[in-house]
Amino acid sequence: MQPEFVIEGYRLTKDRLVSMHITDQSGTIEDVAEVCIDYRDDNIKIPKELKVSLGYKETGVLPIGVYTVNEITLQSHHKS
């Protein structure tokens, strides 16, 4: 089966996704979603919230949560 994702509130094409990690905490501890993207130009606007759905291409995706964007970190590779 092929993994599938949808991130609403964010214009993200699949070729820009580098990695995604979701941590589902127990109880009242906040869950965490870390989304790393290829920021190759300045055309991406980061929203205040991300609605994440995960699943499989063959069976469809289900919503797993709405996450508040608390931190944005930019990294770049050094050109030699």
SS3 at position 4: strand
Domain residue extents for the chain: 3-68
pLDDT higher for 18 or 9?
Answer: 18
Give CA–CA dist 60/71, Å, rounded.
Answer: 29
Tokens 């996704």 locate to: 17
- pLDDT greater than 80 at residue 25: yes
- 9: which DSSP letter? T
Name, in order, each residue with C-beta under 8 angstroms of 45's C-beta and a sequence gap of 6 or more: 11
- pLDDT greater than 90 at residue 47: no
* pLDDT score for 16: 79
How does 6-25 read in b/e, with b if 16+ C-beta sit within 10 Å?
ebebbebeeeeeeebeeeee
